[in-house]
Structure 1
Amino acid sequence: MAKRAATIVDVARAVGVSPSTVSHAISGKREISTPVKERIFEKIRELDYRPSFFAQALKRSSTGLIGVVANECRNPGAAVFIDGLAAELEKYSYRPVVGLTGLNHRKGEEMLRRFSTGLVDGVINLLPQIRPEEAQQLCGSVPVVTNIREQPVPVWLDYDKLTRDILSFLWDRGHRRIGYITSPVRMYDRADTTVGVMKAFFGERGAEFEPGWVFEGEDSIESGISGAERIMKDGEVTAIFTGNDQMAFGVYRWAYRNGVKIPDELSVVGFDDVPQAATIIPPLTTVRFPVEEIVRHTVELLVTKLNRRPLTPGRMTPEMPLVVRDSVADRTQETHNRQYVKLHGTPVEPSNRLSAMHCIAA
């Protein structure tokens, strides 16, 4: 049978002081002599007294908690982001409480409503299926910030420029057949324009673009495996870039199962730059998602709302740099040789000078 929980009255009786003195010793709001305070905390430990969280929150009119509503945290990118939020919130003496709902719209609504019943002081909405206006309506008087899309200070991530940067990087290294595994949530409620950018990029260079080079992924290792299987079966590309690092890891697994060497036979580029990207073999070339900047921006917006201050309109435009590691091969000589054969009908004559240069580069 569970023992009765100790109360503040029990502590006060054991020390020989009033309950209000115990309360002041815990809160630090009033000066209590050191000997008395030491006796109070000694009895608190001895009796295993635990102050009521809700009673304290009622007195302070604050829980000190921030609700973070996310679709999942299996993806290392999501875990890193939530970890960053916890560190940034701690600077303002807040702690996160995480609610996971998947991509189910109804569950997302329920979690936002639940958090706004007094459980937390504010809410950060990471759900791609819940728009900022809807989140505000669901949370009522509780301050809420929708990550990336919060008006009037949204974050602008230029995915069109990013796609061109990745394609240019691969094109400059001799890749002419490039596959893409999409992410269903990367662009939130914006239409994914990546395929349109790819078509324009290849068209500007007089090259063909095949629809079979694109596979609709699900942000998982499994969909990376499926995507690589389908793309390589239909298109036999020399490079694949993905909407997140998880799917890039899936391409690695497909390559391992099928005896395809990375990067010699297939180059891979990811997105997020999660910690595992630097430790997988070969280390993954990927795009670094600006976690620190966006986390700081999101928390600052929420703290501004918590302090009842108006938001200053503007737009944040962080950089998304390409982190070059070892998962992309340079096929420029191979591409040059194919073009030479196409034009002249014979292969390029071997050159001792070229061989020596290759050895030096290696």
Structure 2
Amino acid sequence: MTSIEDAPQVDLAPAEALTLAEIAELAGVSVATVSKVVNGRSEVGSETRALVEGLIRERGLRRQRRRIKPAGLVEVVFHELAGEYPIEIIKGVKDVAGYHGMNVIVSELSGQHVPGQRWIKDVLGRRPAGVITVFSGPTEEQRVLLATRDMPLVVLDPAGDPGRGVPSVGATNWSGGLEATRHLLELGHRRIAMITGPEFAFSGRARLDGYRAALDAAGLPADPALIRPGSFNIEDGVVQTHHLMDLADPPTAIFTANDGMAIGVYRAAHELGLRIPDDLSVVGFDDMAPWKWVNPPLTTVRQPLAEMGAAATEMLVKLASGEQLPQRRVELGTELMVRGSTAVPRD
């Protein structure tokens, strides 16, 4: 086998992508072998696969013509189909896809944030016009496979680094965390706790950084005892609120990194005989429709999930049509929705 450095040189313009034949010549393998790598076939050695995929990453793949017209499908991949979060995103995706005469197919990763090999094989078989992953993202190898099959990828609400050059859509999470905490400070709270999102999640870390920035601007040091870990689950809100209220100097307000954990705070407050907002103020993040009807209605940071879904789909349609994106990273604004779960702290 030939290394990239030892491969025979082909007279190509530096900016021009490579054809299958040119990749094969540079790698010192057959066109059939390159085709197997491009199509995700398993019967190729790991070193050869890495060599071919490296050339495709560096130079790109130029196709002469598309042999199979891709289906008019937008595939949306969720780490988990639970609650209002995916429903809101799907609304935005369907609005834009429908306008362009495309259908939407939804798949789930059973709680995983990185798709498995079965997923990529299924996607390659369905041949959608493009893929939107939500709070998850393919591996580098999977991104290469999508790219070599001319299937554009957009990452929505990235759980981690979406990958070099991969378009993504998110919300202004830092600003949202800042605004939520500033609201509690303006009410007079000084013992403000936060139940965070998972450590790996970019969005959760940004919300925590916004919380810390608001405290710092107010001249208050962030007390490590008031920062409790969470994983965006209701149970986290229940468990961590009990820990927080057991402190010698408990908080008068709790900001949670999503609405689900805020509802867990409500449950724990009920178990502890605390009244919201008289004894404890609560702020969530997301603005899911059902939480407007709890008692009292939840003060929260609105994350524009439907708009994020629509923006990701518009980007995908442009990419599938061969257009260039004006920007590859889009952040949509959050908004604090003040309702009944926050008040001036009791003396």
| TM-score normalised by the chain length of structure 1 | 0.67
> Aligned to 2:75, which of 67, 73, 86?
67
**Aligned partners of 1:190 and 1:280: how far apart in 2?**
25
The code of the aligned residue for 1:136 comes to R
SS of equivalent residue, structure 2 residue 187 = coil
Partner of 2:263: 249
**Aligned partners of 2:271 and 2:172: how far apart in 1?**
35
The code of the aligned residue for 1:128 comes to S
Q: Is the CA contact 1:108–1:127 (under 8 Å) kept in the aligned structure 2? A: no
Partner of 2:100: 92
> Aligned to 1:144, which of 153, 164, 173?
153
Q: CA deviation at 1:288?
A: 0.7
Q: Is the CA contact 1:69–1:112 (under 8 Å) kept in the aligned structure 2? A: no
Partner of 1:309: 323
1:226-265 pair list within 5 angstroms: 226-234=239-247, 235-265=249-279
**Aligned partners of 1:72 and 1:318: how far apart in 2?**
23
Q: Is the CA contact 1:135–1:146 (under 8 Å) kept in the aligned structure 2? A: no
5+ residue gaps, structure 1 = 1-58, 336-362
Q: CA deviation at 1:84?
A: 2.7
**Aligned partners of 1:229 and 1:328: how far apart in 2?**
19
Q: Which has the higher contact order (CA 8 A, sep 6+)?
A: 2
The code of the aligned residue for 1:211 comes to P
The code of the aligned residue for 1:147 comes to L
Q: CA deviation at 1:239?
A: 0.8
Distance 1:202 1:287, change over 3 A: closer
Q: Is the CA contact 2:134–2:156 (under 8 Å) kept in the aligned structure 1? A: yes
Partner of 1:217: 230
Distance 1:135 1:301, change over 3 A: farther
Identity rate, percent: 30
**Aligned partners of 1:246 and 1:191: how far apart in 2?**
13
SS of equivalent residue, structure 2 residue 246 = helix
CA RMSD of aligned residues (A): 2.9
**Aligned partners of 2:141 and 2:184: how far apart in 1?**
40
Q: CA deviation at 1:249?
A: 0.9
| TM-score normalised by the chain length of structure 2 | 0.70
Q: CA deviation at 1:225?
A: 0.8
**Aligned partners of 1:106 and 1:313: how far apart in 2?**
25
Q: Is the CA contact 2:156–2:170 (under 8 Å) kept in the aligned structure 1? A: no
Q: Is the CA contact 2:92–2:308 (under 8 Å) kept in the aligned structure 1? A: no
Aligned: 1:77 with 2:85: yes
**Aligned partners of 2:270 and 2:312: how far apart in 1?**
39
Q: CA deviation at 1:321?
A: 0.6
SS of equivalent residue, structure 1 residue 172 = helix
1:39-50 pair list within 5 angstroms: none
Distance 1:319 1:198, change over 3 A: closer
SS of equivalent residue, structure 1 residue 87 = helix
Aligned: 1:179 with 2:188: no
Structure possessing the higher radius of gyration over alpha carbons? 1
SS of equivalent residue, structure 1 residue 90 = helix
Q: Is the CA contact 1:69–1:111 (under 8 Å) kept in the aligned structure 2? A: no
Q: CA deviation at 1:129?
A: 4.7
Distance 1:209 1:70, change over 3 A: same
Partner of 1:329: 343
Q: CA deviation at 1:123?
A: 1.4
1:1-362 pair list within 5 angstroms: 61-104=69-112, 107-130=115-138, 135-139=142-146, 140-141=148-149, 142-148=151-157, 151=165, 154-155=168-169, 157-184=171-198, 188-189=201-202, 192-234=205-247, 235-313=249-327, 315-331=329-345, 334=346
Q: CA deviation at 1:138?
A: 3.8
For residues 257-292 of structure 1, what are the alpha-carbon distances to aligned partners after superposition, in whole Å with 9 as ceiling and x for unaligned?
222111111111111111112111111011111123
